[in-house]
Structure 1
Amino acid sequence: MTQKTPTALSVNLNKIALLRNSREGSYPDVVAHARTCIAAGADGITIHPRPDQRHIRVGDVVDLHQMLQSEATIEFNIEGNPFAGAMGSYPGFMELVEQNIPEQCTLVPDSNDQLTSDHGFDLTQSGDRLLPIIEKLQSLGCRISLFMDPDIEQIKLAKDIGADRIELYTGPYAEAYKNQSPELEGIFQSYYEAAVAAQEIGLGLNAGHDLNLDNLPKFREIPNLLEVSIGHALTVDSIAMGMSTAVARYKNICIS
Structure 2
Amino acid sequence: MKDGDFPWWLVAVCLLGLAGYGAVLADELQARVLMTLARGVQVTVFVTLVAFVLASVLGMGVALMSLSRLRLLRQLARFYTEILRGVPMLVLLLYVAFVMAPALVAGWNWVAGTLGLEPARTRDFPLIWRAIMALTLGYSAFVAEVFRAGFLSVDEGQIEAAQALGLSGWQRFRLVMLPQAIRTILPPLGNDFVAMVKDSSLVSVLGVLDVTQLGKVTAAGNFRYFETYNVVALVYLTMTVSLSLGLRRLERHLRDRPGGAE
TM-score range for the pair, normalised by the shorter chain length: under 0.3
Q: Highest CA radius of gyration, 1 or 2? A: 2
More helix by proportion, 1 or 2? 2
What TM-score, normalized to structure 2? 0.22
Instruction: Give the number of the structure whose residues are more often strand, by fraction.
Output: 1
Structure of higher RCO (CA pairs closer than 8 Å, 6+ residues apart): 2
